[in-house]
Amino acid sequence: MGASPETASLPPFWLEVTEFALQATAKVGAQLLADFGQASSTEKADGSLVTASDQWADRAFQEAIAAAYPDHGCLSEESNHIFLEKEWCWVVDPLDGTTNFAHGIPIWGSSLALLHWGVPVFGCVHLPPIRQTFYGYWPQFPDDAPAGAFLIRHDRDPVRPQPIGPSTAPPGPNQLFNFCSRSSHWISPQFPCKARMLGGAAYNLLAVAGGSLLGAVERSPKIWDVAAVWAIVKGAGAVWEPLGPADPDPGTPLLPGKDYGRLTYPTLVSAQNRWIPVFRAFIAL
């Protein structure tokens, strides 16, 4: 894979971080793709599904991070939920879209985020079945990588990252908005876009950043569902808002010692700020 001009100009640390994330998600994704269609699932205490593939991928990512960045912290959906006070901390979602994965629906992937003093500044999401990888940067400090977001289409020749950005189209009957299963009651014939339910939190929101959707809502994602996506969505220039006034924002620094296993980040993402009131008119909390 050739680097884009924007990525190639990054400082060495960020080039290394980017290449590490791309390689780690590709390696894990290859094994998950081999497992796809054969996985059996069980229910976790919170009612969500987990498979042996989730657990294997979680271990594989944590081992890769420990080998490459032994001084960095790590939060993960399947193991470590407590944020430690580290300048750099990775957030791992080994398999986003487990329900799709377990039922043979090819919208799922893995995500890695890098936090700088508790805030996501880099994200990488690899979606093996559709052969796409999103990554992006949203700086918080002077030495962070500059803002930007990119998509790699592995079905293209040559395989090169391309900058992405949200749609500028107005809402209409041929534009798309994604709902999650917990927000389906907001779908109505009067909603200004066609409704979709893609089934994977990461891809739902990334599709806004990439210009396929005008908006998306997620009612109950955890920090590992959204940390990487937040950096990419912000880097692409789309608009991210907490769904309710008391809901947390991934841009608020994580607190050392806090357990993030139960905290949810209800979220509305819009391609343009001017469409937020239009969508909120149909979303009554």
Domain ranges of the chain: 5-163, 176-280
pTM: 0.94
Evaluated on CA atoms 248, 87, 112, 146, the torsion sign reads positive
Tens digit of each residue's pLDDT (9 = 90 or more) over 129-177? 999 999 999 999 999 999 999 999 998 878 899 999 999 999 999 999 9
Establish whether the linkage from the previous residue to 170 is cis, with ω within 30° of 0: no
The pLDDT of residue 102 is: 87
Q: Rounded CA gap, 207 and 214, in Å?
A: 8
Domains 5-163 and 176-280 share a fold: no
Does domain 176-280 fall under CATH 1.10.3720.10? My reply is no
Looking at the domain covering 5-163, what would its CATH class be?
alpha beta
Stretches where the chain sits below pLDDT 50 are 1-2
